[in-house]
Amino acid sequence: MSESSGGPLPLLPAIIPFLTLLANLSLFSYGLQAGWISPMSKVLQSEEGPSDTPISDSTMLWIASTMTITAVVATPIYSYLLDAFGRKMCIITIGIFQLSCWAIKLFYASTAGLIIARAACGVASGACFTVVPVYLKEISQEDNRGAIGSLVMLTQSFGFVTMYAMGPYLEYYTVLWVVIALPAVMVLLMLMAPESPAYLIKIGKIEEAKAALALLRGKDKNEKYICNETLLMITQEEHFKSLPTLSYRTILSEKAYRNGLVLLAIVMTVHACSGNFAVFTYAATIVKTSGVTVDPDLQTVAFPLVMAIGGILPTIFMDKMRRKTLFAICLVVTGASHSVVASVILLHNHDVHVPGGLAVGAITVSAFANGAGILPVPYVIMSELFNFQVRARLIGICVTYAWFLCFVQLSIFGPISGTFGMHTMFFGFAAINIVGVTLVWILLPETKGKSVEEIESELRGKKRINDF
């Protein structure tokens, strides 16, 4: 929806912040569920745990990585469901999967039950990053989309913070009773929320789209502003339908799209394999391995808190700094931080005294860099690299690929750490970040301030435009 649809934009109605927070409850729940493994590993592997027998390290590995497997499957499915059943219904199903995840852990805390619960969590995780940004973009106004969109990354960070803060100190079942209400509330309230006007236009429900738009803008549906904005959406939809259908074969035969997909795959490889996902999954274990003895669980609370603080910076600097520069700086910082963590763990394993707090500080710095650049920048680049005809398909491929890499990362973290030492994984993460920053700086075109046509011209191999 565009500012050019007629007249000045109205003041932001109260329903927009409400719907933003409501939809982002799914991201908050994602943060809770993704962060749940770290504080709960100790409980699940103890004699006093909820399962009949303590859970082994290898089984914990499968419980942790199951989420990423089902996220890989869910991402392309929800890309289809978005247009088949609507944004609102997809968010409701995300809440149902998240509710199921907590309920299974609450009432069937066996090994099989925990794996099933993590599978449900993975479906919701893959879906929420696909669905929620689309819904928020389509209900928001032109001048507040940036701030509203940035909340997607911030909200998941606060979910991590909340779980890290209460998980180690509350009893297993108490934690579950506290968090299970969130998806239930979200589902109930979303039943009363308006559907995206753009989706209603897409399926031919023009009057319902006008009513939804009027509610979202705080105006009467017959006012000129609402009529103009509705007409603009209808025109855009008719233009889109008039365009030829593009197959994947046709898309990949175009050099600009093919090169863009390769570059985006490099960006997402660095993004997913930077090491931060493994750190947040196994934070308490990593801190203990680095030699910290004073309440490692308390130390780990700083990681998501600092990531959330770092996540505020892109809302301020994303449109002032070049995307590539911000991404590169954060990769360098993360690579250096992981090198410090690896060195501390290696020295500790050889009985050389090094303050464990040094590793905690390094992980905290990498968490800040993750929130400030590594997490948000790739998604901004993805939205700017391709035109609207191919954007959804190619982004779907890259997000699915990123979830697959997260699965591989979690699957090998335990075995490699057990066989060669955890420092091996962190030296590997450091290398990925340093190699990544080199590839990104040399190969990736800057997207800030450029039209799609300029970017596609560069992707075809023509001269770079104002990259430095």
Q: Are 230 and 237 in contact (CB under 8 A)?
A: no
- Of 102, 432, 160, 80, nearest to 271 by C-alpha is 432
State residue 467's pLDDT score: 47
Q: Are 408 and 346 in contact (CB under 8 A)?
A: no
Q: Copy the structure tokens of residue 403.
A: 């979830």
State residue 89's pLDDT score: 96
d(CA 217, CA 278): 42
d(CA 152, CA 228): 29
Q: How many CA atoms lie within 13 A of 260 on its CB side?
A: 32
CB atoms within 10 A of CB 410: 22
Q: Are 51 and 110 in contact (CB under 8 A)?
A: yes
* Tens digit of each residue's pLDDT (9 = 90 or more) over 111-121: 999 999 999 99
State residue 23's pLDDT score: 93
Is the per-residue pLDDT at 8 higher than 60? no
State residue 3's pLDDT score: 39
Is the whole model's pTM more than 0.75, yes or no?
yes
State residue 146's pLDDT score: 56
d(CA 132, CA 87): 8
* Tens digit of each residue's pLDDT (9 = 90 or more) over 234-276: 887 787 777 677 677 877 888 888 898 999 999 999 999 999 8
Mean confidence (pLDDT) of the chain: 85
User: In Å, what is the CA distance from 145 to each residue of 3, 130, 139, 247, 441?
Assistant: 12, 16, 9, 30, 28
Residue written as tokens 């006012």?
A: 223
d(CA 175, CA 36): 10
Domains and CATH numbers, the chain: 7-193 (1.20.1250.20), 247-468 (1.20.1250.20)
State residue 294's pLDDT score: 59
d(CA 226, CA 1): 11
User: In Å, what is the CA distance from 357 to each residue of 256, 308, 381, 424?
Assistant: 47, 21, 35, 20
Is the per-residue pLDDT at 333 higher than 70? yes
d(CA 302, CA 165): 9
Quickly state the pLDDT bin for 159 (edges 50, 70, 90). Answer: very high
